[in-house]
């Protein structure tokens, strides 16, 4: 292979894998059980349309959980918070077709993944570590891209769909169609998902029912293979019961418009350009009366209705400096405004829905960045990037609620402006035809997010608005390998964080006699290290064994304690048979005990409760490719009906009619069947 060809392999790697994955969606596939494999250094891709086990809730976080290194803070049946290598919240950049979406809920009921309907996408890509600067600021733990295929397609009509039924009243429907010619197309899709309260392994119902639906449409113009103009629209809503708090989510509405233009393979110094603008609006209602018994709708705090409007854009140019050298230069921007209102249910005195929305926070960010791919030889390359963000936040709160009282806001009407530097460099070397080793050093400066600045107090004042940005410096190293029947990957990291935004709950700001418990944001220094490893061995044409492991260790260096909300060691083992018509598989997931805890400490989504016990869960699945059009899969998740909870999940609360548990327990035995259709 000559150097030029190798370089283009590097340069268009993502585009190529997108083609590969577009192809994936047209051939029906096996059930994703153990783990999607890492295809390139620090990159994991998976096709969300494939059936997977255990059956995830139809939101972004639960789909990510099948990727080693990810865990989910469970709150109820859906809308959990994704955590990667023990890092939660805005340490993980989550982009939907390049767009940022930020939730509105002060209680973090709506992480960005709550607005993701995975079946509506063609691929999920995870970029581990602070090892890219192309996708916005602050990706200290990683970047997650939910994307649709952008391949130009021949004239005609194409449709696909799926239907799933499971225990606890679970039913999901998805349909998608594309009609058009080579030069223009219209694509539309709908998803719907519903589940009743599930039962844990002991037969106790968990307050967890949900209903979610989404619709999306795109109108595209593709005059040639390399040019694309696309207008996209999306609308979705849902409701979800929560087992970890006194309110449920009765509205998770999203409105979205996006416009994207790209021109690739232009052939000159300017090889490609991309431009994008978008609008995302989320309107969230949480209340005490609509999804649970005993809540008084006339109460003046019966419903809370935050919203968030996020607008942004990106301009990116790809310069082919030489055969060996390509640089992507660009800028992106994002503004968002958060408001809230509180009141009684509609129809009661003090109806929240007719009150004015009160703005409490506004953020603005403009970033400039450059990322260089430099081939050193056929087998060696360097990838490096620099990024600077101009970040601004304004605190519009006049007062701050503390329990049943309010206190004056010491940072009312203050504006902060900061320049945040980030950068990375990585060396990759192909050690054989199909194996690549890499080592990289990355640094990010992450501005505190809405929850860290506006939803918490500081230790000394009622406002955390002056919390320092978080500085992460991380070493990433690993190997992707394929030798005959054996393939796999190892990715290890060592991470030093300065001014980690630690959330600490149950801090008493009152007196012994008159306590007033608040949650605070504190800047501490922290160290984390760990690794993910995955391997698969093809025993024969039909039989395969695979396994994965994920481990992270976290220290709070300032306090000399463990870092909170660190998931324990996790191992998955799978044995699969697949003869292209029939498939069978078994999955054993083992999770170790976690004794390194920091009670009341963690992140914006959750704080440690106590040490936790380990557990093992066995699941089985089977599939039948009935024809080119239909694939049937079925499975039993948690076959032995084990009662267990993930270490980082939220504490259960008392909900009328339900049994309170230490943590929100995972789903008991769950039988499901899924049909995928392709026309």
Of residues 483 through 502, those in contact with Cu ion by CB under 5 A are none
**In the complex with Cu ion, which residue's Cβ is closer, 85 or 308?**
308
**In the complex with Cu ion, which residue's Cβ is closer, 72 or 587?**
72
**In the complex with Cu ion, which residue's Cβ is closer, 168 or 454?**
454
**In the complex with Cu ion, which residue's Cβ is closer, 12 or 116?**
116
Distances (CA, A) of 648 to 86, 105, 128, 458, 596: 9, 20, 21, 24, 12
Please, what is the minimum distance in Å from the beta carbon of residue 604 to Cu ion? 13
Token pair for residue 126? 């995870």
Of residues 230 through 259, those in contact with Cu ion by CB under 5 A are none
**In the complex with Cu ion, which residue's Cβ is closer, 105 or 164?**
105
By the 8 A CB rule, do 427 and 380 touch?
Answer: yes
By the 8 A CB rule, do 354 and 362 touch?
Answer: no
Of residues 292 through 331, those in contact with Cu ion by CB under 5 A are none
Q: Does residue 286 touch Cu ion according to CB under 5 A? A: yes
Please, what is the minimum distance in Å from the beta carbon of residue 204 to Cu ion? 24
Helix orientation angle between 13-26 and 3-11, rounded to the nearest 10 degrees? 70
**In the complex with Cu ion, which residue's Cβ is closer, 44 or 286?**
286
Please, what is the minimum distance in Å from the beta carbon of residue 360 to Cu ion? 15
Say how far apart CA 602 and CA 669 lie, in whole Å: 30
Length of the chain: 679
User: Among the candidate windows 286-294, 353-361, 395-403, 493-501, which touches Cu ion by CB under 5 A?
Assistant: 286-294
Of residues 344 through 403, those in contact with Cu ion by CB under 5 A are none
Pattern 88-127, binding to Cu ion, x per CB under 5 A?
Answer: -----------------x-x-x------------------
Please, what is the minimum distance in Å from the beta carbon of residue 118 to Cu ion? 22
**In the complex with Cu ion, which residue's Cβ is closer, 287 or 470?**
287
Pattern 402-421, binding to Cu ion, x per CB under 5 A?
Answer: --------------------
Of residues 603 through 642, those in contact with Cu ion by CB under 5 A are none
DSSP tag of 594 = B
Please, what is the minimum distance in Å from the beta carbon of residue 107 to Cu ion? 5
C-alpha dihedral sign at 67, 61, 21, 125: negative
Please, what is the minimum distance in Å from the beta carbon of residue 304 to Cu ion? 7
Say how far apart CA 31 and CA 193 lie, in whole Å: 19
Token pair for residue 111? 């992480």
Say how far apart CA 472 and CA 638 lie, in whole Å: 38
Please, what is the minimum distance in Å from the beta carbon of residue 209 to Cu ion? 16
**Which value, in Å, is the radius of gyration of the alpha carbons in the chain?**
24
Of residues 147 through 206, those in contact with Cu ion by CB under 5 A are none
Please, what is the minimum distance in Å from the beta carbon of residue 103 to Cu ion? 8
DSSP H helices in 373-492: 450-454
By the 8 A CB rule, do 77 and 197 touch?
Answer: yes
By the 8 A CB rule, do 666 and 646 touch?
Answer: yes
Say how far apart CA 387 and CA 138 lie, in whole Å: 10
Please, what is the minimum distance in Å from the beta carbon of residue 114 to Cu ion? 10
Which residue is at the shortest CB distance from Cu ion?
105
**In the complex with Cu ion, which residue's Cβ is closer, 41 or 107?**
107
Q: Kindly determine how many residues on this chain lie close enough to bind Cu ion according to the rule CB under 5 A.
A: 4
By the 8 A CB rule, do 346 and 289 touch?
Answer: no
Helix (H) / strand (E) containing 19: helix 13-26
Please, what is the minimum distance in Å from the beta carbon of residue 284 to Cu ion? 5
- Give the dihedral of Cα atoms 303, 308, 309, 312; nearest 10 deg: -160
**In the complex with Cu ion, which residue's Cβ is closer, 107 or 385?**
107
Token pair for residue 523? 């800047």
Token pair for residue 210? 């949900």
**In the complex with Cu ion, which residue's Cβ is closer, 286 or 636?**
286
Binding site for Cu ion (CB under 5 A): 105, 107, 109, 286
């Amino acid at each position: 292979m000559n150097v030029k060809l190798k370089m283009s392999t590097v340069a268009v790697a993502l585009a190529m894998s997108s083609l590969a994955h577009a192809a994936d969606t047209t051939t029906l596939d096996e059930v994703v059980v153990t783990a999607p494999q890492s295809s390139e250094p620090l990159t994991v891709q998976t096709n969300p349309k494939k059936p997977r086990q255990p059956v995830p809730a139809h939101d972004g976080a639960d789909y990510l959980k099948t990727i080693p290194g990810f865990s989910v803070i469970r709150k109820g049946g859906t809308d959990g918070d994704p955590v990667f290598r023990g890092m939660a919240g805005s340490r993980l950049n989550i982009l939907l077709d390049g767009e940022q979406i930020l939730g509105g809920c002060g209680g973090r009921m709506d992480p960005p993944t709550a607005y993701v309907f995975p079946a509506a996408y063609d691929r999920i890509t995870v970029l581990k570590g602070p090892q890219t600067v192309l996708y916005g600021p602050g990706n200290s733990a990683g970047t997650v891209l939910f994307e649709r295929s952008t391949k130009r397609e021949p004239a005609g009509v194409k449709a696909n769909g799926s239907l799933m039924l499971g225990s606890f009243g679970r039913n999901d429907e998805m349909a998608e169609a594309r009609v058009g010619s080579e030069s223009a197309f219209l694509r539309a899709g709908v998803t719907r998902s519903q589940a009743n309260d599930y039962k844990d392994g002991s037969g106790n119902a968990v307050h967890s029912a949900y209903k979610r639906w989404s619709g999306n449409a795109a109108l595209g113009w593709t005059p040639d293979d390399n040019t694309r103009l696309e207008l996209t629209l999306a609308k979705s809503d849902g409701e979800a019961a929560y087992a970890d708090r006194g309110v449920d989510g009765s509205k998770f509405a999203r409105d979205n418009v996006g416009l994207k233009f790209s021109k690739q393979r232009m052939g000159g110094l300017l090889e490609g350009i991309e431009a994008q603008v978008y609008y995302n609006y989320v309107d969230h209602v949480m209340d005490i009366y609509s999804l649970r018994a005993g809540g008084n709708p006339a109460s003046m705090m019966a419903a809370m209705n935050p919203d968030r409007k996020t607008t942004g854009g990106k301009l990116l140019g790809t310069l082919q400096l030489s055969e060996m050298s390509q640089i992507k230069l660009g800028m992106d921007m994002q503004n968002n405004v958060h408001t809230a209102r509180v009141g009684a249910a509609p129809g009661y005195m003090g109806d929240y829905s007719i009150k004015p929305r009160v703005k409490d926070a506004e953020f603005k960010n403009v970033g400039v960045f450059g990322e260089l791919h430099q081939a050193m030889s056929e087998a060696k390359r360097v990838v490096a990037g620099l990024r600077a963000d101009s970040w601004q936040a304004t605190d519009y709160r006049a007062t701050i609620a503390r329990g049943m009282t309010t206190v004056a806001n010491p940072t009312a009407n203050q504006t902060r402006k900061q320049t945040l530097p980030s950068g990375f460099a990585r060396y990759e070397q192909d050690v054989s035809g199909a194996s690549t080793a890499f080592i990289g050093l990355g640094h990010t400066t992450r501005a505190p997010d809405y929850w860290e600045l506006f939803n918490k107090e500081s230790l000394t004042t009622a406002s955390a608005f002056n919390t320092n940005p978080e500085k992460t410096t991380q070493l990433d190293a690993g190997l992707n390998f394929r030798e005959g029947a054996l393939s796999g990957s190892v990715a290890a990291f060592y991470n030093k964080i300065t001014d980690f935004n630690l959330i600490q709950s149950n801090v008493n700001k009152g007196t012994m006699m008159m306590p007033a418990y608040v949650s605070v944001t504190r800047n501490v220094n922290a160290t984390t290290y760990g690794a993910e490893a995955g391997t698969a061995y093809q025993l024969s044409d039909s039989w395969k064994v695979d396994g994965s492991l994920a481990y992270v260790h976290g220290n709070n260096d300032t306090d000399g304690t463990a870092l909170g909300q660190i998931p324990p060691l996790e191992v998955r083992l799978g044995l699969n048979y697949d003869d292209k018509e029939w498939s069978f598989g078994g999955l054993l997931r083992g999770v170790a005990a976690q004794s390194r805890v920091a009670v009341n400490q963690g992140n914006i989504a959750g704080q440690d409760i106590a040490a936790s016990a380990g557990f093992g869960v066995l699941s089985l699945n089977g599939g039948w490719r009935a024809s080119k059009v239909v694939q049937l899969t079925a499975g039993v998740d948690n076959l032995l009906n084990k009662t267990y909870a993930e270490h980082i999940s939220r504490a259960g609360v008392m909900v009328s009619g339900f049994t309170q548990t230490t943590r929100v327990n995972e789903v008991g035995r769950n039988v499901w069947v899924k049909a995928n259709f392709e026309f």
